[in-house]
Amino acid sequence: MSAAVILAAVLGDGVLLIARRIFSRRSVVTLRYPPTMMRGKTVIVTGANSGIGKATAAGLVQLQARVIMACRDRQRAEEAARDIRQGVGPSQGEIAIKHLDLASLKSVRSFCEDIIQKEPKIDVLINNAGIFQCPYTKTDEGFEMQFGVNHLGHFLLTNLLLDLLKKSAPSRIVVVSSKLYKYGQINFDDLNSERSYNKAFAYSQSKLANLLFTMELSQHLQDSGVTVNALTPGMVRTNLGRHVHIPHLAKPLFHLASWAFLKSPLEGAQTPLYLACSPDVEGVGGRCFANCKEEELLPKARDEQVARKLWDVSQVMVALSS
């Protein structure tokens, strides 16, 4: 095959990828809000130093919210905060940075104690931080890392802040899950994957746990003035997949494909912003959204018995009294 034919094929594929990217953008919802919509509101965003979390924090700051970036790496959080301040323009809200390591329940408790002591109110809590398909490791308390960070850390965080959220009502809780929940099951016999570990299954289990937690928490919040909803952001270009091995020679093609087919962090942040800000979901709870529209979940994500059992087991695991 001649070099000209190969070049034409490569260029043709590149044009096709770009064209599909351009036309696929039509399905991405980008909403606009009044520029002062979140003025006077305090919002906590976990994992706000990169990806969807950073884009969500930037959107909230642009709407003049006071955003508390709850991050494990303070240096990266400070760098992200500088980027946000430079990017959103002169009329902006405030940014505060607080240390939170969701792989340490001690850190979660310390963070919550600080928030309760220093913050008069919390209007929105966005449980965004997560870890994706990492090698088998454990949290400080000995839990499998993905289940520990993605579910248990946020479970404790949310419960410890509930009284403040109720005092701040109307207030909102937003839980970031993933469509990969479809491939998970809650394995109560081996939640910590000690008998066997499949990193893809462990991630899917943790994201299913996010949805079950949302549904059960919504029942606990009836008539409290606090609502909780979940979302699945879709495939977004973030560093969440840093533990996924890609052969060196395939990386250029992978980056091209990710640009062509994956959402940008800003696009991925539209649904969390919608659930945090929009009057359309005022008083709405116990639902899951995708692209700013309600999403129908599989029955296993709406199983009340499993959700109740997971809640009870999680309480014991994080040593949270009833």
Phi and psi at residue 67, to the nearest 5°: -105, 125
Q: Rounded CA gap, 167 and 161, in Å?
A: 10
Burial of 267 (0-12, 13-18, 19+ CB in 10 A): buried
Q: Rounded CA gap, 315 and 260, in Å?
A: 42
Q: Rounded CA gap, 92 and 39, in Å?
A: 9
Q: Rg for the chain (alpha carbons), in Å?
A: 20
Structure tokens at 154: 């946020």
Tokens 């449980």 sit on residue: 127
Q: Annotated catalytic sites, by residue? A: 203
Q: What is the DSSP letter of 140?
A: T
Beta strands in the chain (DSSP E): 42-46, 66-71, 94-99, 124-127, 171-176, 226-231, 288-290, 293-294
Q: How many CA atoms lie within 13 A of 89 on its CB side?
A: 7
Contact (Cβ atoms closer than 8 angstroms) between residue 197 and residue 255: no
HEC string of 252-320 equals HHHHHHHHHHCECHHHHCHHHHHHHHCHHHCCCCCCEEECCEECCCCHHHCCHHHHHHHHHHHHHHCCC
